[in-house]
Structure 1
Amino acid sequence: MASLGLWVTRRRHGVGPGQRPLGYARAQAPMMYGFAFVCTVETVGVGFLLAKMPVVHWIMLVLDVYTVLMVLGFQAAAVTRPHVLGPEGLRVRQGAALDVWIPLERIASVRYDLRFPKAEAAGRQALERDGVLEMAVAAQTCVTVELTEPVTAVKLLGQRVTARTVRFHADEGRAAVAAIREELAAGKETAAVTPV
């Protein structure tokens, strides 16, 4: 719900100076807005059906409005909490549910790799198996980051996730890969110039 406030004020969470946001919300937007529309129509329909029962009508109205706000909140979280790329590393996020920090020195390779995670993962926020973390948006990922050593992230409810490969979606997947590669090259140049 906090993301709704950020969305209305057109602010982003966790994007500092010198950092580049990499959006991922565009792919899920049609589904989320469609779902919000259906929920709104259902709210109006239930309002007419329960017009003669005021107590039940108000209870259902509160629940239905809350549902619409939650759906919009999921989209707002994706818009206001983009992936973030900076000189220190890559922050890969899935709304407010999962936040993975990857230091640049741990990135072995990055590539554009369009994938559609298996059906059992389609309804889940993120799936980790065999050291691969898939953070799909609209049932797809398009960027694969291979790591030299694993990273650990904590989900919203405290569950730990460890991965050596992170797959995520970005609206501009090829541009995201190019930006990560540029940042990696800049980091290597800086390391070569800096005296030991």
Structure 2
Amino acid sequence: MSDQTTAPSPAVTRRIVSFLHRAWVAELRVYASIGRAIARRPAVPPGGTGIAYHRPVLTVLFIFIGLSAVEIPILDLIVHRWPIVRITLLVLGIWGVTWMLGLLCAMIMRPHAVSPEGIRVRNGLEIDVPISWDDIASVAISRRVDEPKRPRIAEGEYAERMQDETNIEIELERPTLVALPGLAPKGGAHRVDRIRLWADDPRAFLDAARPFLTA
């Protein structure tokens, strides 16, 4: 009786390829963000203004980084008798701390950007959604708290929340495509007519956008 192997379906293959690609891009952005932080060069287009969004999670990130750093010498002390295990855990520990530092740097060095080209909605290592001024009808301060785990895309609306909250609302002139990382239904291109996001300083965001809206 011959052995039969079942090849993965095209959908499964696409998901695996998409995951590996996203992981690779995120890894590169970790080190790029650390480099930007060292050089003090935030990713803001010429003539633009960067608006931070990381304040609500800053304390949590510092706690995770601190715990990860403390964990390295503790584990090293426990497994020092086994060189292979010790080296493996040491490499993984350093990589983990570096990754967390890169995420923190990404949130600081890749802020929301308001520039002559439009608005770039950002979050961490992956999210970077450009919207041109031609597609924007209005920008307003509007604070809203959503239910936990509510999807980013729902009912024609894209919400880039920080701890389930947004405080900026962007009304679009017409249904506009936004592209999110990953495959549908969570990722991929979606047509929306409203975008909500969190800005640490919503007044500064509105002030930066106002000259382009009235031009």
RMSD: 1.8
CA distance in 1, matches of 2:203, 2:211: 12
The answer as to 2:92 corresponding to 1:63 is yes
Partner residue of 2:166 out of 114, 138, 141:
141
Which residue of structure 2 lines up, in the alignment, with residue 7 of structure 1? 37
> TM-score under structure 1 normalisation?
0.84
Based on CA coordinates, which of the two structures has the bigger radius of gyration? Answer: 2
How far apart are 1:80 and its partner, in Å?
Answer: 1.1
Structure 2: segments with no counterpart, 5+ residues: 1-29
- Aligned residue pairs: how many? 181
Partner residue of 2:105 out of 76, 80, 103:
76
Render the CA deviation track for 1:125-177: whole Å, top value 9, x for unaligned. Answer: x7111111111124322111111223323334463242211111111012212
Partner residue of 2:157 out of 124, 132, 155:
132
| CA contact 2:137–2:171 (8 Å) conserved in 1 | yes
The answer as to 2:188 corresponding to 1:160 is yes
| CA contact 1:98–1:153 (8 Å) conserved in 2 | no
CA distance in 1, matches of 2:152, 2:204: 24
How far apart are 1:35 and its partner, in Å?
Answer: 0.7
Partner residue of 1:173 out of 202, 205, 211:
202
Partner residue of 2:54 out of 25, 46, 70:
25
CA distance in 2, matches of 1:182, 1:100: 21
Matching residue's letter, 1:68? V
Question: % of aligned pairs identical?
Answer: 29
Structure 1: segments with no counterpart, 5+ residues: 188-196
How far apart are 1:41 and its partner, in Å?
Answer: 1.6
Secondary structure class of the residue paired with 2:130 = strand
